[in-house]
Amino acid sequence: MVLTVDDMLGEILEYLDRTGKAANTLLIFTSDHGTEMGAHGMPPWRKTMPHVESMRVPFVARLPGVLPAGGTRDTLVAPVDLFPTLCGLCGIPVPRTVEGTT
């Protein structure tokens, strides 16, 4: 049986509901840009062209009472911004040495 992303996220959300942890758990799901798996006739290790497969990376965040449910954004998200954003959500000051933004 092959699990899809929807299946995996569904299992995690079901577990959080079942254990009473859903209301105060920050859930983040993301991925890297992958290798495009040779989709454009190039070897998978050569990332020379910015095709859609390497630019459209999933990023899902859920924190009841803080992040509105069902919302979508058309905003560029970069991995460098993840740590300062998590600091902001947790009420922790972002270290001065961190380059990303919240």
In tens, the pLDDT along 21-39 reads 999 999 998 877 665 566 6
State how far the Cα of 52 lies from the Cα of 59, in Å rounded to an integer.
15
Q: DSSP class of residue 70?
A: T
Whether residue 10 contacts residue 18, with contact meaning beta carbons closer than 8 Å, is answered with no
- Tell me: the pLDDT tens digits for 89-101? 888 999 999 988 8
Residues 43-91 have pLDDT tens digits of 666 656 666 666 667 788 888 988 888 888 887 777 888 899 889 888 8
Report the alpha-carbon distance of residue 88 to residue 95 in Å, rounded: 11
pLDDT of residue 47: 59
The answer to pTM > 0.75 is no
